[in-house]
Structure 1
Amino acid sequence: MTDLKLLALDAEDLAVISAHVQDAVVRVPDMGYSRGDKRFALLMNRYDWTSAEKRSKGLRKRSGLHFNRVESVAYAGFDPASPEGVLNLLAITFLPSADGVSGIVELAFAGGGTVRLSVECLEARLGDLGAAWAAAAKPEHALD
């Protein structure tokens, strides 16, 4: 299985990354903001949706995602200092400002948690970091 490496410079690119990280499991201590570097990064165990076609439960891979040119970060719906917190990532979206370049990147988690990144411009990178392992279950979502 080939390691995934993606770059997002606009909302369409970010939608591709969002699709690949849907249902990723993220430990709260595995995400953080480096103000000096203007970078927000997180590690995750992403569900590999492409492997689900070949295996009944699919695979998970350890992956890293970071955003550059981050001016500020806001957390809502969970305690960002929780050493035991675990979140399920649902989607990542970009809401551009009037200038069309800067804006807000929003990471939406199950249960209503969000991380909002104020960015000078959109620049995100996703990369797999190691071997895959069998997923315990295939994520499912109820259709309301």
Structure 2
Amino acid sequence: MSDDARFEDGAERPLNLGALDGEDLGVISALVQDAVLPVTEISWQPGKRRLGLLLNRVRWEDVEAATRRGRPVERVQSLLVVDTVLGMSSQGLDRTDRDVVLSVLSVTFEPGEAPGGHVVLTLAGDGAIRASVEALEVSLRDVTRPYVAPSGKAPSHPE
């Protein structure tokens, strides 16, 4: 029998997470909340049935420790990949305006005919990206070293 994970086991390592169900996707959604990306960093590869986004995400897993220690909040570039994509659509964003910067609010799964459904990325400003998937298969992987967020602070949301 394995022991439960302990807080001390966590180290400042790059994240590499996968989601195969809604609960797992909730964790990824929390980690990519307030991530920003230029519209040019969205890659739809129909032949590979893959949607990829290169995000600059807040290191939410480190915000509390950074604040407690008086360190600035960090961001890290991460690759969010949705696999088994059958098709995709978007609303409220102009992919031809290459200067647009998007902000991710959440990533959710809308079940369809099992095991398929739709992975929905809700964006600030009423935008959304919707990927029809054969099955839920999403991954999040940090691909750079963390860097100090331009503001040095965690984003805040009015209640």
Matched with 2:129 is 115
Matched with 1:28 is 39
- Shift of residue 142 of structure 1? 1.1
Structure with higher strand content: 1
Percent of counterpart pairs with the same letter? Answer: 39
Q: Is 1:90 equivalent to 2:101 in the alignment?
A: no
* DSSP 3-state at the match of 1:63: strand
Correspondent of 2:93 among 78, 81, 92: 78
Alignment of 1:1-144 (within 5 A): 1-56=12-67, 57-97=72-112, 99-135=113-149, 136=151, 137-143=153-159
* DSSP 3-state at the match of 1:36: helix
- Shift of residue 138 of structure 1? 1.4
- Shift of residue 58 of structure 1? 1.4
- Shift of residue 100 of structure 1? 2.9
- When normalised by structure 2's length, the TM-score is 0.86
- Shift of residue 24 of structure 1? 0.3
CA distance in structure 1 between the partners assigned to 2:123 and 2:39 by the alignment: 11
- Shift of residue 107 of structure 1? 0.1
Rg larger in structure: 2
- When normalised by structure 1's length, the TM-score is 0.95
- Shift of residue 134 of structure 1? 1.2
Aligned positions, number: 142
Structure with higher helix content: 2
* DSSP 3-state at the match of 1:108: strand
Indicate the RMSD between aligned Cα atoms, in angstroms. 1.0
Q: What runs of 5+ residues in structure 1 fail to find an aligned partner?
A: none
CA distance in structure 1 between the partners assigned to 2:138 and 2:61 by the alignment: 21
CA distance in structure 2 between the partners assigned to 1:96 and 1:81 by the alignment: 30
- Shift of residue 81 of structure 1? 2.4
- Shift of residue 34 of structure 1? 0.6
Q: Deviations over 1:117-139 (max 9, x none)?
A: 00000111110001111112310
